[in-house]
Amino acid sequence: MFDASAAHQPTNEHTATINSSPITTEVLQSLQGKDIAIIVSGPTVVLAADADSIWEAKVGDVDCRLLETILSDTSTTKLCHDLKNLKYFLSELGMGDGCPKGNIFDVQLVHYLIDAEMRHTLESIASQNIGMEPATPAEQASALWQLYPLLAAKLHDAGLADLYHNIELPLVDVLLSMEREGVRIDTDALRAYSSQLTDEMQSVGQQIYELAGMQFNIGSPRQLGEVLYERLQVTDKPPRTATKQYSTAEDVLQKLSGRHPIIPLILQYRSLSKLVGTYLDSFPKLISPVSGRLHTVYNQTVTATGRLSSSNPNLQNIPIRTERGREIRRAFVPADDEHLILAADYSQIELRIIASLAADRHMLEAFANGEDIHASTAAKIYHLPIGEVSKEQRRNAKSVNFGIVYGISAFGLSEQLSIPRKEAASLIDEYFAQYPDIAAFIDRCREKARANGYAQTLLGRRRYLPDINSRNAAARSFAERNAVNMPIQGTSADMIKLAMVRIHNDIVSRRLRTRMILQVHDELVFDLYRPEEDEVRALVEHHMKTALPLDGIDIEVGMGVGNNWLEAH
DNA sequence: ATAAGCACGC
DNA sequence: GACGTACGTGCTTATA
């Protein structure tokens, strides 16, 4: 509905401040066929045909059908900030999901590609690029027009336009669809498990108080530190955090666990309280009364490497490592009895990426032979036949493999494995001797970052590393680790994002009832409509394997189906 | 409100 | 001798 009281004509007077006129039906008609910037902010919608032709109205006063027609014109450009959010608002107004259409320039997404680690609020982007901080919706719409040519040029000059058009922009619809779909949660199971673990937590707490000889807040690291290191004196060299507080962190307590029976109980209490507080008691409160399902938000412009993040709640950190934690996944269930949960995950994707980017013949061969890659690494660094590798040797090799991806030091590895630093150093030396191309790749990553000032993924996504030439050794080392890690982690992110776009498009065009509902970095989870199982398994596997082919290596995908997320693994 | 410490995931 | 393994989110406690 348009605002019948808005009989004013747009003024032609433009002063230094940004002024807007009401959105009338005449205005909307005049905007047909024109490029347009749109801001929706709370109750206000603002349209702009250029930096100072701006119209504004209360959302309820706009002729939504006419606006939808304008926004659905495939031949025009639409400027916005945070497209996913805009689409959500527009759909609330009853507009179809294809809206807006045409050439869409999302200033937030573009700015994320240009420099991921900066802030991507419109205020911040405008302040950096055009020296203004748009406060009102009208100023924001004007800012979009002023930013458009500047950011479009930067996007193209940095070679990021394909990434924008082929991955990030189409991914918006995928994420919006996943967020809307949500996931069904068995709240009865969560509540039952919560009361079981809460009982256990109380009993463990009582035992802790008895061993301490006093009551205190176990959840307070400071109080806990005083009990452990002053009252009970579990060690004469109390470990400290970076800020000189007593440390009671898990890895620290693990090393002291033989010194006093209270320590394993503390660790047990901690993990129970984490499970209850972060998952079991929180999820039931977050279930939408409208859909009856749990809806996360996928953040597309947060991480430095190109990964997604998930919040409110974070569904990318559901426990899996411990038996008790893993049980929580039993509560992630299919929509109804016509559905199952399908989980599909990339196998060793980061190591395959490093093997391919490094073109390391030895690691590529191990993958080609279908070897257990950690056992294979152990065989190489311990000079054993792969069949004679011990569990401990495999575990050590696995840590070295992970360490390579993260930018290892002998100190870090020795801490991780609780072995002397010299032993850790010789493991690393032997690793690089066995995989010389990986050593060379790591050097190349650092050198390229030094020369360019940024690291890059296979598809050209960038991360700037201003400290790569710093005189501060700590800062420089950090940048060097990122110079190695970013191309690996970021290429993996490029790959799964592209797969998600293709899978989603395929599901839509085949009119399937299966829905993609979760992404956890190297895993996709689906609410699988049972009759579609064979077709969906095939198409998911196909797109995950082929989205971003790697030189010299096949990509493998593991799949499982079950009555909940736990059983699907 | 904000920071610190901690713990969960990949 | 220092620095000490990438990327995130969210909980509780403690202090402002």
Strand C reaches within 7 A of the A467 CB: no
pLDDT at residue A15 in the model: 40
What does the pLDDT look like over A90-129, one tens digit per residue? 999 899 888 999 999 999 999 999 999 999 999 999 999 9
Q: Which nucleotide is nearest to A492 (CA to C1')?
A: B10
Residue whose CA is minimally distant from B8 C1': A317
Q: Which nucleotide is nearest to A307 (CA to C1')?
A: C7
Chain C: positions less than 7 Å from a protein CB are 1-14
Strand, helix or coil for residue A105: strand
Cα A44 to chain centroid, rounded = 31
pLDDT at residue A416 in the model: 87
In this predicted structure, the answer to whether residue A510 has a pLDDT above a threshold of 80 is: yes
What CA–CA distance (Å, rounded) separates A296 from A278?
14
Q: Which residues touch strand B (CB under 7 A)?
A: A 221, 225, 241-250, 253, 267, 270-271, 274-275, 278, 316-322, 325-326, 520-523
Angstrom distance, A194 CA to B5 C1': 24
Range A339-368 average pLDDT = 97
Q: Which nucleotide is nearest to A267 (CA to C1')?
A: B7
What's the pLDDT band for A84 if we cut at 50, 70, 90?
very high
- Token pair, residue A547, equals 């989205």
What CA–CA distance (Å, rounded) separates A315 from A491?
22
Strand, helix or coil for residue A96: coil
- Token pair, residue A223, equals 């109080």
Residue A2 identity: F
What's the pLDDT band for A16 if we cut at 50, 70, 90?
low
Q: Which nucleotide is nearest to A281 (CA to C1')?
A: C11
Q: Which nucleotide is nearest to A299 (CA to C1')?
A: C8
Q: Which nucleotide is nearest to A223 (CA to C1')?
A: C13
Contact predicate A519/A483, CB 8 Å: no
pLDDT at residue A19 in the model: 82
Interacting residues of A559 by C-beta distance below 8 A, sequence separation 6+: A342, A343, A344, A345, A537, A540, A541
Cβ-based neighbour number of residue A552 at 10 Å: 17
- Among the residues of A227-261, which ranges form H helices? 250-256
CA–CA distances in Å: residue A229 to residues A34, A215, A232, A245: 70, 16, 6, 11
In this predicted structure, the answer to whether residue A11 has a pLDDT above a threshold of 60 is: no
What does the pLDDT look like over A386-426, one tens digit per residue? 999 999 999 999 999 999 998 888 888 998 888 888 999 99
Angstrom distance, A222 CA to C14 C1': 9
Nucleic strand C contacts from chain A, 387-446, CB < 7 Å: 399, 402-403, 406-413, 415-416, 421
In this predicted structure, the answer to whether residue A140 has a pLDDT above a threshold of 70 is: yes
Strand C reaches within 7 A of the A247 CB: no
Residue whose CA is minimally distant from B6 C1': A249
What does the pLDDT look like over A439-468, one tens digit per residue? 999 999 999 999 999 999 999 999 999 999
Range A261-287 average pLDDT = 95
Interacting residues of A60 by C-beta distance below 8 A, sequence separation 6+: A1, A43
Angstrom distance, A334 CA to C16 C1': 46
What does the pLDDT look like over A226-269, one tens digit per residue? 999 999 999 999 999 988 999 999 999 999 999 999 999 999 99
Strand C reaches within 7 A of the A470 CB: no
Cα A383 to chain centroid, rounded = 38
Q: Which nucleotide is nearest to A311 (CA to C1')?
A: C9
Nucleic strand C contacts from chain A, 539-558, CB < 7 Å: none
Place of tokens 């503390």: A266
Q: At what angle do helices A137-157 and A107-114 cross, to 10 degrees?
A: 40
Rounded to 5 degrees, φ, ψ at A510 are -85, 0
Strand C reaches within 7 A of the A290 CB: no
Chain B: positions less than 7 Å from a protein CB are 4-10
Rounded to 5 degrees, φ, ψ at A300 are -100, -5
Residue whose CA is minimally distant from C9 C1': A314
- Token pair, residue A73, equals 């014109």
Nucleic strand C contacts from chain A, 293-322, CB < 7 Å: 299, 302-305, 307, 309-314, 316-317
Strand C reaches within 7 A of the A198 CB: no
Range A476-482 average pLDDT = 93
Angstrom distance, A63 CA to C8 C1': 41
Residue whose CA is minimally distant from B7 C1': A274
Angstrom distance, A204 CA to B4 C1': 25
By CB atoms closer than 10 A (0-12, 13-18, 19+), residue A329 is: buried
Angstrom distance, A66 CA to C9 C1': 41
Cα A393 to chain centroid, rounded = 32
* Average of per-residue pLDDT values in chain A: 94
| Strand A454-456 to A462-464 pairing | antiparallel
Cis, peptide link before residue A100, omega less than 30° from 0: yes
| Residue from A38, A40, A55 nearest A3 by CA | A55
Angstrom distance, A488 CA to C6 C1': 10
Q: Which nucleotide is nearest to A322 (CA to C1')?
A: B8
Range A477-490 average pLDDT = 95
Angstrom distance, A316 CA to C9 C1': 9
Angle at A95 between CA A83 and CA A32, to 5 degrees: 85
Angstrom distance, A518 CA to C10 C1': 19
Residue A126 identity: A
pLDDT at residue A98 in the model: 83
What's the pLDDT band for A22 if we cut at 50, 70, 90?
confident
Residue whose CA is minimally distant from B3 C1': A243
